[in-house]
Amino acid sequence: MIGLRSGSTVVTELSRHPLERLLGLSFSDPSLLQEALTHKSAGTPNYERLEFLGDAVLELVVTEQIYLLHPALDEGAMTRMRVALVRRESLAEVAKRLQLGSHLRFGPGERKSGGMHRASILADSFEALLGALYLDSGWEVVRELIKSQFDWDKLQSASADGLKDSKTRLQEWLQAKNLPLPDYAVVRIEGREHDRVFTVRLTTSAVEKAVEASASSIKWAEQAAAALTLEQLER
């Protein structure tokens, strides 16, 4: 029996959660892992708060990797690449590889309806796992896990749909649903003349609240707002 020390706790190999063994990790606080694997249908605490944290951690790591690996890309191309990578379908694929669905705790109704196979739940649970790992083990550990779960070499050749102009993709999504096209409006301009930051508000009937995004040009602010809207629609 192998003894692994995590924090001040000695954890035996047999006592570790199967997911810990799969990832080669050990949680100092096992309750964080349990929370990350608990759907809201099973009660509280559940993974929703950890998902919120994990979403931010994931976006920062992905942004960092794109910046480091693709120095020739401009702001717009990096934004589109990030959207393609962190979209629900991409995260659900990672969750499937990790067999997260089989480890999730559900209420009877959600389990019976096939929650463990639902892409939105799988994507959310992966983000929750990242949030839990960040709190338990810190930035470097969660960063390495994220880096290990994506094929960064294939980012440049990601699907044309994934990297397509975000405004175009949003327009196509709305047209497919017979919804009106979105409205873009510049709501704020900040900074000096040579270093302006433009904030654009995107309004569409497809989401409840208007989405705002800022960038160094109106064009990229519109693209960023469209990308954020697509993230909401594709969850």
Give Dmax over CA atoms of the chain in angstroms. 66
Q: pLDDT at position 227, please?
A: 85
Owning domain of residue 71: 3-161
Could you tell me if 194 and 210 lie in one domain?
Answer: yes
Could you tell me if 154 and 81 lie in one domain?
Answer: yes
Could you tell me if 148 and 59 lie in one domain?
Answer: yes
pLDDT band at 5 (very low <50, low <70, confident <90, very high): very low
Could you tell me if 105 and 155 lie in one domain?
Answer: yes
Q: pLDDT at position 112, please?
A: 82
Most confident range, picked from 2-6, 207-211, 216-220: 207-211
pLDDT band at 74 (very low <50, low <70, confident <90, very high): confident
The whole-angstrom separation of Cα 63 and Cα 40 is 29
Q: Is the pLDDT of residue 2 over 50?
A: no
Asked about 127 being catalytic, the answer comes back as yes
Could you tell me if 62 and 21 lie in one domain?
Answer: yes
From the list 127, 136, 222, 231, the catalytic residue is: 127
Could you tell me if 155 and 173 lie in one domain?
Answer: no
Could you tell me if 94 and 122 lie in one domain?
Answer: yes
pLDDT band at 15 (very low <50, low <70, confident <90, very high): low
> Which residue has 């993974």 as its token pair?
47
Count Cα neighbours of 232 within 13 Å in the Cβ-side half-sphere: 16
pLDDT band at 106 (very low <50, low <70, confident <90, very high): very high
Per-residue pLDDT, averaged over 84-104, amounts to: 87
Could you tell me if 72 and 117 lie in one domain?
Answer: yes
Q: pLDDT at position 62, please?
A: 92
Could you tell me if 36 and 123 lie in one domain?
Answer: yes
From the list 55, 110, 124, 231, the catalytic residue is: 55
Q: pLDDT at position 157, please?
A: 52
Could you say which DSSP state residue 184 is in? E
Which pair of tokens denotes residue 111? 């389990």
> Residue 178's domain is classified under what CATH number?
3.30.160.20
Query: What value does the mean pLDDT of the chain take?
Result: 84
Q: How many domains does the chain have?
A: 2
Q: Is the pLDDT of residue 224 over 90?
A: no
| 147-169 pLDDT, tens digit each | 998 877 655 555 344 446 788 88
Which pair of tokens denotes residue 189? 């301009």
pLDDT band at 82 (very low <50, low <70, confident <90, very high): confident
> Residue 25's domain is classified under what CATH number?
1.10.1520.10
